[in-house]
Amino acid sequence: MSDLRFDDKVVIITGAGNGLGKSHALEFAKRGAKVVVNDLGGSAFGDGADAAPAQVVVDEIKAAGGEAVANFDSVEDGDKIVQTAMDTFGRIDVVVNNAGILRDKSFHKMTDDDWDLIYRVHVKGSYKVAHAAWPHMREQQYGRIINTASAAGIYGNFGQANYSMAKLGLHGLTQTLAIEGQKRNIFVNSIAPIAASRLTETVMPPDILKNLKPEYVSPLVSYLCHESSTETGGLFEVGCGWFAKLRWERTNGLGLPVDNISAESISEGWDAVVDFSENTTHPAGTQEAMMGPMSNLQNK
Ligand SMILES: NC(=O)c1ccc[n+]([C@@H]2O[C@H](COP(=O)([O-])OP(=O)(O)OC[C@H]3O[C@@H](n4cnc5c(N)ncnc54)[C@H](O)[C@@H]3O)[C@@H](O)[C@H]2O)c1
């Protein structure tokens, strides 16, 4: 198979000064892309700012013969990041929404500030970058966007109510952008990665972390963003060299006659509501999902 190249393509990676974003930036640069290396350079908690992390990655890409420019704005000003791409390289083809912070606290200790900041960086930041890139992608009939979700959003995780909300919210964004972008060759996917970084170094032991290299995640991102990939609307778990797609699964359900709907009749039929052992379905869109309730229309 020929190499998956990104020559003449312009790629924005947010939060590319460290961890996964840095690895993504180096991966795209190695494949010929012109890379906008965005990073605010604050702490993992979301405090402060520093130009060094983004600049170091740009210097590394240039030293290896690649092309890159640094951008130090917060993703909350995502339009400025896209402007850097347009001013420097004249186009934008790929957005990898990766920037992130944590404000982990059990729910009863969580403040409005913890909630809002996580929303602003992860959800609003991803929206702002994608929204500013969208008209250019529509116009050129080509675009690829990756939103970075998390297992915490898919499955829940103690102490991460704010982060879980944001991370699964991002996959909701992915699914609708995939629908709206389809006709214009704009494909949008989510990844839920696992990798050693400053966000995970305090929660996992060193011997596990050494096998969780960010470099094991980035090839999936470059594959999904290549013009040859038609995958869109997907959610992928990725880490340690393992790659898997997730989907919704629905039970066959309980259909009650409409004149017999009550808490008691639901209680009596509860096994059918929660039984995944047979006749499950995997609705892939709202139309297919509607088939569930619609199948009970004649149940009078
Ligand atoms: N590491 C994992 O196992 C893991 C698991 C699930 C999800 N994620 C997600 O992957 C992404 C990357 O995380 P990481 O583990 O590489 O962490 P990291 O801390 O190493 O990198 C995140 C980068 O984002 C930057 N950043 C933070 N706020 C920003 C802002 N407002 N504007 C621009 N840049 C900003 C930081 O400066 C940092 O360089 C995050 O979205 C994280 O939630 C990581």
Q: Is 76 found in the same domain as 214?
A: yes
Q: How far is CA 121 from the centre of its chain?
A: 13
Residue with CA nearest ligand 1 atom 37: 41
Residue 5 lies in a domain: no
DSSP class of residue 18 equals S
Note whether 82 and 182 are same-domain residues: yes
**153: Cβ below 6 Å to ligand 1?**
no
The answer, yes or no, to whether any atom of ligand 1 lies below 6 A from the CB of 125, is yes
Residue 1 pLDDT grade (very low, low, confident, very high; cuts 50, 70, 90):
confident
Domain that holds residue 68: 10-246
Residues 194 and 294 in one domain: no
| Nearest residue to 199 via CA among 83, 59, 65, 42 | 42
What separation in Å is there between the alpha carbon of 289 and the centre of ligand 1? 34
Phi, psi of 91 (to 5 degrees): -165, 170
Which residue has the least CA distance to atom 42 on ligand 1?
A: 100
Can you read off the two tokens belonging to residue 68?
Answer: 């890159």
Helix 161-181, helix 125-140: angle, nearest 10: 10
Ligand 1 atom with minimal separation from the 163 CA: 43
- 202, pLDDT greater than 90: no
Specify the ligand 1 atom closest to the Cα of 148: 41
* 25 close to ligand 1 (CB < 6 Angstrom): no
Pair (162, 255) in one structural domain: no
Rounded to the nearest whole angstrom, what is the distance from the C-alpha of residue 2 to the centroid of ligand 1? 31
Gap from CA of 53 to ligand 1 centroid (Å): 12
Identify the band that residue 2 occupies on the pLDDT scale cut at 50, 70 and 90. confident
Rounded alpha-carbon distances, angstroms, from residue 190 to 65, 113, 149, 195, 228: 30, 26, 6, 16, 18
**What is the rounded distance in angstroms from the CA atom of residue 83 to the CA atom of residue 92?**
9
pLDDT, mean over the chain: 97
């898919």: which residue's tokens? 154
Catalytic site residue 142?
Answer: no
Kindly state the average pLDDT of the residues 132-142: 98
Predicted local confidence at residue 122, as pLDDT: 98
**Beta-bridge partners for 50:** none
Please tell me whether residues 152 and 259 are part of one structural domain: no
Whether residue 149 contacts residue 175, with contact meaning beta carbons closer than 8 Å, is answered with no
Measured from the CB, is residue 195 less than 6 Å from ligand 1?
yes
Asked if pLDDT for residue 105 goes beyond 90, the answer is yes
pLDDT in the model for residue 176: 98
Mark 152-179 as b/e (b = at least 16 C-beta within 10 Å). bbbeebebbbbbbbbbbbbbebbbebbe
* CATH number of the domain residue 285 falls in: 1.10.287
Q: Can you list the alpha helix ranges (DSSP code H) found in 124-197?
A: 125-140, 151-155, 161-181
Q: Give pLDDT, residue 271.
A: 98
Examine the domain organization and report whether 165 and 279 are in the same domain: no
Residue in 127, 142, 155, 163 annotated catalytic: 163
Q: Work out the average pLDDT over 110-121.
A: 98
What CATH code is carried by the domain that includes residue 238?
A: 3.40.50.720
Are 178 and 284 in a shared domain?
no
Same domain, 141 and 95: yes
Under 8 Å between Cβ of 136 and 184: no
Residue 145 · residue 155 · CB < 8 Å: no
Q: How many domains does the chain have?
A: 2
